[in-house]
Structure 1
């Protein structure tokens, strides 16, 4: 029998009859640029007044006009490259807690707010992924071609808060759980998706600081209930190619999806035992 906690969808093999009818998309506006767009970051605030486009060697801040039917560039930050063949910018992320943007520049992470930030040498080689902790305003995670995931406190970046080395090849995507930030996803070119518990540096850490009891008990779920601890919760190896993206459900905190290069989307759930460690 198949894994009851997963649902695998191969996008390239869906029968035509299973595709729901779709409504036509309306082209609201188009932005003209003179370079490739690597990524677009949308303003996470309710006002939705601006967005950012990341290019090979610059990023641009766009301001919406005329009730979101057009936009113009309000600011441009350029990054001169030390090599003609090198594209220094790879990705970026918008802090959901404040008007702050972090950008990956080669092996470093740079941020812009009312003041500038830079984490020099955040990784030994290319940084490919970033995500802000939605529940801790000063915490950011990064990952890259050194196969490592690192967590940073932006108030003191002399060294990382935590480092995880559970991947064997480039790490392409990372994601904090928006409801329970002690749950963290990473995926990479090793065809794996890792679910981590990082409770010690999460917003929930204080809940367990005074709990010194190690006793187990069988609750109504039938699981032995222990307090959450740091470590690899589970590795998911249902993909046969590089996993380029991971995302948590916006409505169900225990569901997440991963997408690989071959077009396969896999939906999984957090293991029940880990779930009950958090909610009980």
Structure 2
């Protein structure tokens, strides 16, 4: 099903942007962080909130960031803390920041750098937080290495507990931390997905011969992941049977850049692409005891086409997409020209 947008638009980002994240630790608001990617201007992080009426997006905070932002993640247990991966010239860095407490009383208050992740990083790709509750570890991934850090924000220190090099044959580009097991992380290379045990820093299994762009774990079902791939579109895998995908889903006309499972309705998947579209997919993986989405499962049984809707009201590539943890029927998307749109998928949650 094709269609334009009936979403709520935020046009406050002045520069190009790729990164948006849900502020999942905020219990009172549907809010997102977005970061810009300007080569010549001073970059910004915007704290964007949905108004109480649900009719407009409000800039709750605007913060200067020293460099262009290539990755941004919100801390899952503290709404004022987030991480960025940034680039200055040819140099990459990663930091964990804290939003100042009185941020609403200044035009553009300075972010406080809690911790800098300065280890011998080559081309840094992302920082990962374990998505379930409080945890004092983070993971950073660069082109050749996986680092596990211990963070002490009170003393503003971070130290590498362990690291593993993937070798010269692979170049890492991203990953996801298993929400069901804090000792497991999946990383993506040019031609494979690799799962690692963080206790031993050894590879446990892998999916080969696919060009992965993004990956996300199913938050409700263990061992199930979804991948965005250049040639195959979107595929769902059971990591216990990695040779063949469980389900193949349609991708985008051009590159499928990002993929995200809904935090509550495990059959709903969002993808974003360089064809200036966001797709809402429905893919039921049977055999679960969960009953959170019975109506969706019934709905899926009635449908042959897994594409519920394609949101196409964008003028540029869409690199960033994020579900709201507080209100799982809503998501935010960010196109490269800096436009943020928040949409509701509530019409597709009803049993038809």
TM-score by length of 1: 0.80
- Which residue among 195, 208, 223 is the counterpart of 2:280? 195
| C-alpha distance in 2 between matches for 1:146 and 1:60 | 29
- What does residue 188 of structure 2 align with? 104
Q: Is the 8 A contact 2:267 2:293 kept in 1?
A: no
Q: Is the 8 A contact 1:40 1:51 kept in 2?
A: yes
Q: Is the 8 A contact 2:191 2:212 kept in 1?
A: yes
Is 1:78 the counterpart of 2:173? The answer is: no
SS in 2 for 1:228: helix
CA separation of 1:160 and 1:20: change in aligned 2, threshold 3 A: closer
Cα distance, 1:236 vs. partner?
Answer: 0.5
Aligned positions, number: 253
CA separation of 1:140 and 1:71: change in aligned 2, threshold 3 A: same
Q: Is the 8 A contact 1:147 1:169 kept in 2?
A: no
SS in 2 for 1:277: coil
- What does residue 176 of structure 2 align with? 93
- Which residue among 218, 225, 228 is the counterpart of 1:143? 228
Q: Provide, for residues 202-232 of structure 1, a one-character-per-residue CA deviation record: whole Å limited to 9, x for no partner.
A: 84787999x9xxxxxxxxxxxxx99311511
Q: Which has the higher relative contact order, 1 or 2, with Cα contacts under 8 A spaced 6 or more apart?
A: 2
Give runs of ≥4 in structure 1 deviating > 6 Å. Answer: 204-209
- What does residue 8 of structure 2 align with? 7
- What does residue 49 of structure 1 align with? 136
**For structure 1, which runs of at least 5 residues remain unmatched after alignment?**
212-224
SS in 2 for 1:112: strand
- What does residue 113 of structure 2 align with? 27
Q: CA RMSD in A?
A: 3.0
TM-score by length of 2: 0.65
**For structure 2, which runs of at least 5 residues remain unmatched after alignment?**
16-57, 63-102, 104-108
Is 1:250 the counterpart of 2:325? The answer is: yes
Q: Is the 8 A contact 1:199 1:205 kept in 2?
A: no
Whichever structure has more strand as a proportion of its residues is 2
Which protein has the larger Cα radius of gyration, Structure 1 or Structure 2? 1
Q: Choose 155-164 or 192-201, whichever is displaced more.
A: 192-201
